[in-house]
Amino acid sequence: MSMQKTYMPKKEDIKVKWYLVDAEGQILGRLASQVARILKGKHKAIYSPHINTGDAVVVINAAKIKVTGRKLKQKVYRRYSGYQGGLREVYLETMLAKKPATVIQLAVRRMLPKGALAEDMFGKLHVYADEKHGHAAQKPELLKLK
């Protein structure tokens, strides 16, 4: 009886494609989950959870992202320095005005698995507030998200 071996993707099997995503008019969470899926490599047949098989994603027009409900006024980003009185809170509305790229980066990072592999995946994400990006040389393929 011959046993079929499980396929393990090798480094030379992994070809990184570049995708361009226009965030204008997109819902933040839905966009982030689809981008995270591409960064993980789940859209490929060679996907393996312990190997970075994902592709690179360039997100443009981050400042024109949409959110549903009252999130602009109610969603809070918190960070804590560890010192007394060191809790900093920023509302989504303020964050979109000051650092729109950070909003998408945080949403996508929190949808990736935790650990060193996630840092590898996250390194393939490039977010820009407007239409200008410096990745024309990589010839990113325009990706239409649902």
Domains and CATH numbers, the chain: 17-68+100-135+138-142 (3.90.1180.10)
- Tens digits of residue pLDDT in 77-122: 999 999 999 999 999 999 999 999 999 999 999 999 999 999 999 9
Task: List all residues 6 or more positions away from 87 whose beta carbon is below 8 Å from its beta carbon.
Answer: 78, 79, 80, 81
Q: Which residue has the tokens 């011959």?
A: 2
Burial of 111 (0-12, 13-18, 19+ CB in 10 A): middle
Residue 56, CA distances (Å) to 76, 114, 123 in order: 28, 18, 8
Instruction: Give this prediction's pTM.
Output: 0.92
- In percent, the amount of the chain with pLDDT more than 70 equals 99
pLDDT band of 1, cuts 50, 70, 90: low
